[in-house]
Amino acid sequence: MTPGRRDRVGRALRVLLALALAIAVVAVLQRHSVQAASGPAGPATITVTPTTNLTNGQAVEISATFAAGSVFKLVAQLCKHNASISNDADYAFDGPNCSPNKVSPEADTQQQLPVSPSATSAALNAANNKAFHVGIGTGAPWQDFTGGTNTLTCTAADPCDLVVEVLIQSGAAFFVAPLSFAGGGTTTSSSSSTSTSTSTSSTSTSTSSTTSTSSTTTTKAPSTTTTTAPHSPRRNCKPRLTVRSKRRLGRPPRRPGPIRSPGRSSSSTR
């Protein structure tokens, strides 16, 4: 092979190697690209980033631009995917779409930011400690105002939506940013107080004592009032003793006296 031909072959190989390296870099960048969702919500333009390949506890930032005095508050919540949210009842925590419970211990349920009347932009981000932290897992169930029971799951197989409410003078406008999550372990909340259970389970035995208190009820009979008539004065009368009773008492019976004739004095004699 002549020297000129070797040079041409070397240049071709270097070009092919550079092209292959460029293709590999583009593929890696596409795989780990940070995608944002942007769109209008009433008088504001909302941008949410990142929205894809999210991990448990990752911070998502929200920014908004608007005319001064047109927006006075931003609120962000994690809600069910493809839920129809167009009013406060759809967006409320006691509604069927947005969970009041964390999907994982690292996740948020809500972030909000008041906006001053003179501001033309606002952001929920790490700079003001208002970035929204997403989670991977299933939150504790909650009951909505219709009595139905709901749960929210955010995993690689179950996307969720980050819904931004823009409070304006005439009411509220909403921007929905679909979120997708990276694969990995999930966390399931086991109670409505947003506690979580891991794969390691512990069993505790508790002894409960029951104290029975008996009560005695005493029923009293109704009181009876007896009215006694006053005693009538009694004469001083002694019991009359008969001859038989005198003998029992040891007294001799009284002998009858002489029979007196009527009309004659007791002092006269014959």
Q: What is the per-residue pLDDT across 15-74, written as a single tens digit (0 to 9) for each? A: 677 666 656 544 443 444 458 899 999 999 999 999 999 999 999 999 999 999 999 999
With a pLDDT cut of 90, the percent of the chain lying above it is: 54
Ranges of each domain in the chain? 34-185
Distance CA 97, CA 84 (A): 8
Distance CA 118, CA 72 (A): 10
Give the pairing type, strands 71-80 and 110-114: antiparallel
pTM for this prediction = 0.59
pLDDT at residue 188 greater than cutoff 90: no
pLDDT at 192: 31
Distance CA 110, CA 132 (A): 7
How confident is the model over 222-237, as pLDDT tens digits? 444 444 444 444 444 4
pLDDT at residue 126 greater than cutoff 90: yes
CATH code reported for the domain at 34-185: 2.60.40.230
Of 192, 91, 97, 78, nearest to 142 by C-alpha is: 192
